[in-house]
């Protein structure tokens, strides 16, 4: 391919490419705005993440309590077996 057409081709590619990238991301800006608006309509006021720290803490405490129960049961059983 002669050099001049190659440069013309690449200039062409640059114009189309930048145009596409910009229009794609511009459309995405609009769509994301629409999405946020819609999400707010569907679940009003749900701006906080679904998992708040509080239930996680409680789960952890519950898990700890369960763990303690299991361990003490095992210890009790071990001791009772040793006595025989």
Residue ranges binding other proteins (CB under 8 A) = 1, 3, 6-7, 9-11, 13-14, 16-18, 20-22, 24-29, 31-33, 35-36, 38-40, 42-43, 46-51
Nearest distance from C-beta of residue 78 to other proteins, angstroms? 34
Q: Judged by CB, which is closer to other proteins: 29, or 84?
A: 29
Rg of the chain over CA atoms, in angstroms? 32
Nearest distance from C-beta of residue 3 to other proteins, angstroms? 6
CA distances from 1 to 4, 10, 17 (A): 9, 12, 21
């Amino acid at each position: 391919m002669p050099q001049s057409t190659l440069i013309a081709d690449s200039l062409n590619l640059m114009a189309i490419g930048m145009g596409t990238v910009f229009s794609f991301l511009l459309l995405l800006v609009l769509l994301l705005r629409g999405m946020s608006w819609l999400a707010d309509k569907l679940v009003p006021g749900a701006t906080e993440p679904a998992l708040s720290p509080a239930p996680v803490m409680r789960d952890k405490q519950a898990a700890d309590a369960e763990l303690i129960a299991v361990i003490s049961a095992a210890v009790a059983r071990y001791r009772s077996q040793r006595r025989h």
